[in-house]
Amino acid sequence: MDDDFLVKSVISAAKDVFGMMLGLEATAGETYMEENVPTEKERVVALIGLAGTWVGTGMISCSPDLACKISSLLLMTDCDGVSEDVLDAMAEMANMIYGNVKTELEEQVGGLGLSIPTVIFGRNFATRSIGKQSWTVVPLNVKSETGTELMELKICLTQNKDYQQSARPHMRPYSVLREDM
């Protein structure tokens, strides 16, 4: 898979989601690679798995303040801190962004499945996707009335060499299974 295509897909999906669902303008900074570095600041992180001919994880990560702002705009409610609503909103943001990335990638690599998102709120933690050591990071500058804040979009994908040889249909993505029926 072409790295440029992957990055462009992530940026395009994120801009669409921020623009259409939140009415916020988002611009992408320069993409970089990152090892599994623990973060000392408080972060709200949503992770979502991709599986098929390629396997890996997509992630969105931002400050509690930005997560609160996103939740407030998405759910059209007030936000006083990181609550269940904020975690739900971040999960749905990850689902929409990487769901659209999945659709784009499927044109190149065939059927992919998407997991249910997992959300983490905390500090001093590192994330690792087994099989690949580094994340491709797209910094996204999100503009709002109160200024510009940063969301990091991270993805690590690796080719699933066992996919073609798999004799276990129950291990294949659901979307692929349906197409076989």
Partner 1 sequence: MDLNVLIVDDSAAIRKILVRVLSQTDLPIKNLHEANDGSEALKILEHNDVSLVLSDINMPNVDGIELLTRIKAQPKYKNLAVVMITTEGSQAKVMEAVQLGAKGYVRKPFTAEQIKEKVLSCLKSAEV
Report which residue type is found at 31: T
112 and 53 Cβ atoms separated by less than 8 Å: yes
Indicate whether 48 belongs to the interface with partner 1 (CB under 8 A): no
Indicate whether 179 belongs to the interface with partner 1 (CB under 8 A): yes
Question: Considering Cα of 38, then 39, then 44, then 48, what sign does the dihedral take?
Answer: negative
Indicate whether 170 belongs to the interface with partner 1 (CB under 8 A): no
Phi first, then psi, for residue 118 (nearest 5°) are: -120, 135
Chosen residue from 6, 10, 11, 17 binding partner 1 by CB under 8 A? 17
Neighbours of 100 (CB within 10 A): 17
Chosen residue from 27, 103, 133, 148 binding partner 1 by CB under 8 A? 103
Residue-wise burial string across 2-12, b where 16 or more C-beta atoms lie within 10 A, e elsewhere = eeeebbbbbbe
Distance CA 77, CA 23 (A): 15
Enclosing H/E stretch for 34: strand 32-34
State which of positions 23-42 bind partner 1 (CB under 8 A): none
Shortest Cβ 92–partner 1 spacing (Å): 4
Q: Which residues pair with 13 in a beta bridge?
A: none
Residue among 43 and 102 whose Cβ is closer to partner 1:
102
Residue among 55 and 74 whose Cβ is closer to partner 1:
74
Residue among 10 and 114 whose Cβ is closer to partner 1:
114
Chosen residue from 45, 60, 114, 156 binding partner 1 by CB under 8 A? 114
State which of positions 76-95 bind partner 1 (CB under 8 A): 76-77, 85, 88-89, 91-92, 95
Residue among 15 and 132 whose Cβ is closer to partner 1:
15
